[in-house]
Amino acid sequence: MKGNLLAVVLWGAASSAAVAGPVESSPTGSVAAAQPYAPLFKSELERSRSFVDQMMVAGVVVPVPRDPGGGYTHEQHKRNFKAIYEGGQLYRITGEQKYVDYVRDMLLAYAKLYPTLDEHPARKDSQSSGRIFWQVLNDAMWMVDSIQGYEAIRSRLSDADRDNIDENLFRKAAAFLSTGSAVTFSKIHNHATWATAAVGMTGYVLGDKELVDIALLGLDKSGETGFLRQSELLFSPDGYYTEGPYYQRFALKPFVVFAGVIEKNDPARKIFEHRDGILLKALRTTIQLTYDGYFFPFNDAIKDKSLQTDELYHGVAIAYRKTRDPGLLSIAQWQGRTVLTDDGKLVADDLAAGKAGPFPFKSLLLSDGPEGNQGAVAILREGDSTSGQALVAKNSSQGMGHGHFDKLSWQYYDNGNEIVSDYGAARFLNIEAKEGGRYLPENESWAKQTIAHNTLVVDEKSHFDGDVKVADRIAPKQLFFSDAEGARISSAVIEGAYPDTRFTRTLALLSVDGISAPLALDIVRVQSDGTHQYDLPLHYQGHIMRVGFDTDANNAARPVLGTGNGYQHIWVDAAGQPQGQDGFVTTLLDGRFNTYRFVPQQGAETILAEIGANDPDFNLRREPIIIQRVRSAQNTTFVSMLESHGRYDGAAEQTVGSDSQIKSISHESINGLDIVFVETLDGKKVALAVSYDSDLEKKHAVKVGDQMLNWTGFAARIDLPAGKAKR
C-alpha cells in the first residue's frame, strides 16, 4: 500500500495507516450509527447525507469543462468536490460502503478526464487558467476538498483504482498546481495559499515528501515563498490580512485546514505556534471584523458574506480544538453549522454540554502589514456586536489588486444595520448574466474610486490617482487609538494620496448622558500647499426624513455630478448652502433614525445625490450620498457627526425621538489644535479636543471664549458645565 510513508491523517481518518492525531469517532462500521450525536453534529450529518444521497441519485456527472463562474460545468464541478469531500466524511462516520463506491467512481471519472485537459475554454487573459475551472484558483479549491474526501476512502480501494487515482488525478493535478503554475504557486497571495495547501495535503496523502516540502517552503524550498512564508507576510502581527475581511475569510480556510493537517502529520513543527500563534490569531481577528455576523465590506467584498460560510465552519472547529475557547462555541451556535470532522464533533458536543460563552467582540486596533507598520484598521464598539454601535476606521494599506482607493474611510453600524456604508465590490458572484459572475467594469469605474467611499476627494480625483502600484507603496499612519469608556478615539494621517495635500482624520464614539447611542464624531483636517476643491462624501443607508437647510432640487432633469473617477456615476438630486446649525440630514432605516450633522464651512455647499448614472447595464445598486463640498480652499477642516436616535415601530404605531437630540455643534481651530463642541437639547455639553501631539503625557490648555479647556495627550473628551460652554 502506497502513501503511508508519512503519517497520513487529515481528519482523524478511517485509514488503517493512521498513526497520529486524535481519532474520536469510531473509524469504521455500524457502531457509529448507534452513537448519539450532539444536535449540531447530527443536523450537519443529516444535511450532508441529504446532499450526498441526492448527488448519488443523479449519478457520477463529470462534464468536460466549458463554462465560466456560475455556468453549468463550473457549478457541477463545485458540487462534485463538495460531494467528494462529504462522501469521504460520511464513510468515515457511518462506515457505509456506498459512500466509498460513490467517491471512488467520481474520482475515477476525474482520473479519466483530467489527463485530457488543457487550458480552460472560458479562461480570462488576466488570470491564470485552471484545468477543471476557468481560474487556477478554483482548481486548487477543488483539490483541497477532494484530497480530503479521497483520503477517507483511499485505503478501501483496490490497488488498481488507487494507483489510477493517485497517478492520473492527484499527482497530475499537484504537478499542474505547483510546477505547472509556478507563477501563482510562488506568489505571496491567497491564490498561492490555496495552491500550496492543495499540493501539501496531497503530498501527505500520497506520501510524497517532495510535494509537502515545496508546499511549505516554495518550489525552490528556500522558504522565500510557500505556505510558511505566506503565513508570515500575508498577516499582520495582529492577524489582519491585508486584502481586507472578505478575502481574509476566504484565505483563512487553506491556512487553517492545511495547518490542521500539518499539526496532525508533523506535530513537531508546532505550526500553530508559528510566528506567535499567527494562524489562530488570524481566525479570531476574522471574527472581530464583523458586525451582526457580517464582514465589514471594505475593498472588493460581496456584502452578503457572513460568518455562515464554509471557511469559518472549518476555522472555528479547528481553532476550538486547539484553544477550547468558549467564545468560539457561541460563534458556532450563531453559525448553526459545523464540519463533519472530529473537530466539528467536539464543537457540537461541547456546545450541547453548555460550555459556550460570549465571544469577546471589542474595540480593537489591528495593525496592517507584515511588520505591523502599514497603517491599521481601528474598530470602535459600544454595546453588543448585533444591535450596538460599531465604527470602523479604515486606515489600512491598499491591500493589492482588490484594494480600494479609500484611505481613512469609515463605516458606522447601529441597530443591526450598516448606516454609514461601504459599497463593497461591483460584482454579482456566480451570476452569468453579470459578466459571467466576474468583477464588473463598474468595480473599476465606481467601487474602487475614492468618491465611492466615505473619505476625502481632492479635485475629483481618486487617491494615488487610482494607481495601485503607487498606492501599495504608501500607507496611512495610525496616530492615536483609545478605547477608553465613553470616549473611544482613533486618529490617522495619510500623506501622499495627493501630491501636495495631506489629511488627518479623527473619529470618536462619545457617550453623552441622556443620549441613547454614543455620538460618532468626525474631524477631517486637510492641509495643502495648493488651492483645491475638497469633497467629503457620506454614503448612507436610509430614507431622508428631514433636511435642515434649503436646497435647490433638480426636479425635472437629473444631471450627473462629474465626468470621471466615479463622478460620472452620480446623479445630483439637490444642493444647498447650509448655514449655522442647519447643516444636517435626518434619515430613517429599519425603525431607527440617524442624523448626519456638520459644521458648514465658509461658502461650502452640500450635495444630495444617488448612484446610478452612466450605468446602462444596471450594474450598480442605487444608493444615496451626501457630499460636503468646499469649492476652493487651501487648508480646511470638515467637522461632522452621526447620531442614531429614536424608534419607529410600524406595528405598534409608536414613534419616539424622530428628531435629533442635538442643539448645536461647533468647531474651533486654535494653534493647530481642534476642538469640537456639542450641546444637546437638554443642555448637556461635551467637547472633543485634539492636540495632534503624540506625547501622551503632555498637558494641553486652550482658551475658548472665556473658558479654559485642559486635557492630556493626543485627544480627549471634555465634559463642560451646563450653561457655561462657549455659545
Kindly tell me which of 306 and 511 has the beta carbon lying closer to a second copy. Answer: 306
Residue 586 binds a second copy (CB under 8 A): yes
Min dist CB 394 to a second copy, Å, is 22
Range in contact with a second copy (rule: CB under 8 A) among 235-243, 409-417, 504-512, 540-548 = 540-548
Are 367 and 242 in contact by the 8 Å Cβ rule? The answer is: no
Type and span of the H or E element at 320 = helix 310-323
Kindly tell me which of 7 and 302 has the beta carbon lying closer to a second copy. Answer: 302
- The site for a second copy, by CB under 8 A, has a size of 59
Are 491 and 674 in contact by the 8 Å Cβ rule? The answer is: no
| Burial category of 401 from C-beta neighbours within 10 Å (exposed 0-12, middle 13-18, buried 19 and up) | middle
Range in contact with a second copy (rule: CB under 8 A) among 167-175, 299-307, 475-483, 597-605 = 299-307
Rounded distance between C-alpha atoms, residue 685 and residue 700, angstroms: 20
Among 221, 324, 622, 699, binds a second copy (CB under 8 A): 622
Min dist CB 627 to a second copy, Å, is 15
Residue 697 binds a second copy (CB under 8 A): no
Among 120, 305, 645, 700, binds a second copy (CB under 8 A): 305
Kindly tell me which of 218 and 612 has the beta carbon lying closer to a second copy. Answer: 612
Range in contact with a second copy (rule: CB under 8 A) among 41-49, 153-161, 612-620, 675-683 = 612-620
Rounded to 5 degrees, what are φ and ψ at 478? -75, 120
Nearest to 625, CA basis, from 610, 644, 647, 646: 610
The label of the residue with cell 475629483 reads 460
Residue 533 binds a second copy (CB under 8 A): no
Residue 659 binds a second copy (CB under 8 A): yes
Kindly tell me which of 434 and 629 has the beta carbon lying closer to a second copy. Answer: 434
Residue 70 binds a second copy (CB under 8 A): yes
Nearest to 89, CA basis, from 39, 81, 265: 81
Rounded distance between C-alpha atoms, residue 52 and residue 84, angstroms: 9
| Burial category of 41 from C-beta neighbours within 10 Å (exposed 0-12, middle 13-18, buried 19 and up) | buried
| Burial category of 650 from C-beta neighbours within 10 Å (exposed 0-12, middle 13-18, buried 19 and up) | exposed
Range in contact with a second copy (rule: CB under 8 A) among 97-105, 119-127, 558-566, 625-633 = 558-566
Residue 621 binds a second copy (CB under 8 A): yes
Cβ contacts of residue 105 below 8 Å, gap of 6+?
Answer: 60
Residue 574 binds a second copy (CB under 8 A): yes
* Dihedral (Cα; 108, 109, 115, 121), 10-degree rounding: -150
Greatest distance between any 2 Cα atoms in the chain: 92
Residue 117 binds a second copy (CB under 8 A): no
Among 543, 697, 701, 706, binds a second copy (CB under 8 A): 543
Angle between helices 72-94 and 39-58 in degrees, nearest 10: 130
| Burial category of 440 from C-beta neighbours within 10 Å (exposed 0-12, middle 13-18, buried 19 and up) | buried
Are 191 and 136 in contact by the 8 Å Cβ rule? The answer is: yes
Cα 562 to the chain's mean position, in Å?
30
Residue 613 binds a second copy (CB under 8 A): yes
- Footprint (CB under 8 A) of a second copy, residues 397-456: 428-434, 437
Min dist CB 467 to a second copy, Å, is 26
Rounded distance between C-alpha atoms, residue 526 and residue 333, angstroms: 46
Among 560, 633, 673, 718, binds a second copy (CB under 8 A): 560
Min dist CB 202 to a second copy, Å, is 23
Which of 204, 247, 412, 423 is catalytic? The answer is 247
Are 261 and 152 in contact by the 8 Å Cβ rule? The answer is: no
Range in contact with a second copy (rule: CB under 8 A) among 490-498, 515-523, 546-554, 701-709 = 546-554
* Dihedral (Cα; 679, 680, 682, 686), 10-degree rounding: -50
Kindly tell me which of 82 and 684 has the beta carbon lying closer to a second copy. Answer: 82
Kindly tell me which of 42 and 79 has the beta carbon lying closer to a second copy. Answer: 79
Range in contact with a second copy (rule: CB under 8 A) among 274-282, 379-387, 569-577, 717-725 = 569-577
Kindly tell me which of 17 and 560 has the beta carbon lying closer to a second copy. Answer: 560
Kindly tell me which of 79 and 269 has the beta carbon lying closer to a second copy. Answer: 79
Determine whether 534 is an active site residue.
no
Min dist CB 659 to a second copy, Å, is 7
Residue 558 binds a second copy (CB under 8 A): yes
x/- letters, 636..655, toward a second copy (CB under 8 A): ------------x-xxxxxx
CA geometry: angle at 499 spanning 497 and 501, to 5°?
Answer: 75
Min dist CB 589 to a second copy, Å, is 12
How many C-beta neighbours within 10 Å does residue 173 have? Answer: 27
Kindly tell me which of 228 and 340 has the beta carbon lying closer to a second copy. Answer: 340
Residue 485 binds a second copy (CB under 8 A): no
Which of 402, 539, 569, 645 is catalytic? The answer is 402
Residue 578 binds a second copy (CB under 8 A): no
Strand order from edge to edge, sheet including 409-414: 364-367, 375-382, 389-396, 409-414, 417-420
Kindly tell me which of 166 and 615 has the beta carbon lying closer to a second copy. Answer: 615
* 597-613 residues labelled b (16+ CB within 10 A) or e (exposed): bbbbbeebbbbbbbbbb
Residue 61 binds a second copy (CB under 8 A): no
- Footprint (CB under 8 A) of a second copy, residues 150-169: none
Rounded distance between C-alpha atoms, residue 511 and residue 509, angstroms: 7
Residue 333 binds a second copy (CB under 8 A): no
Among 387, 551, 577, 669, binds a second copy (CB under 8 A): 551
Kindly tell me which of 337 and 700 has the beta carbon lying closer to a second copy. Answer: 337
Among 109, 175, 545, 673, binds a second copy (CB under 8 A): 545
Rounded distance between C-alpha atoms, residue 596 and residue 586, angstroms: 6
Among 309, 396, 462, 606, binds a second copy (CB under 8 A): 309
Cα 248 to the chain's mean position, in Å?
6
DSSP 15-81: -TT--SS---S-SSSTHHHHSPPPHHHHHHHHHHHHHHHHHHHH----PPP---TTSHHHHHHHHHH
Min dist CB 535 to a second copy, Å, is 20
Which DSSP state fits 566?
T
Residue 661 binds a second copy (CB under 8 A): no
Residue 557 binds a second copy (CB under 8 A): yes
Kindly tell me which of 26 and 568 has the beta carbon lying closer to a second copy. Answer: 568
Residue 354 binds a second copy (CB under 8 A): no
Min dist CB 538 to a second copy, Å, is 15
Residue 66 binds a second copy (CB under 8 A): no
| Burial category of 366 from C-beta neighbours within 10 Å (exposed 0-12, middle 13-18, buried 19 and up) | buried
Kindly tell me which of 618 and 697 has the beta carbon lying closer to a second copy. Answer: 618
Among 571, 598, 677, 711, binds a second copy (CB under 8 A): 571
How many C-beta neighbours within 10 Å does residue 541 have? Answer: 15
HSE-CB of 493 using CA atoms within 13 angstroms: 14
Are 37 and 240 in contact by the 8 Å Cβ rule? The answer is: no
Determine whether 247 is an active site residue.
yes
Cα 453 to the chain's mean position, in Å?
16
Residue numbers of the site for a second copy (CB under 8 A)? 70, 75, 78-79, 302, 304-306, 308-310, 428-434, 437, 543-547, 551, 553, 555-560, 568, 571, 573-574, 586, 588, 608, 610, 612-618, 621-622, 648, 650-656, 658-659
Active site residues: 247, 402
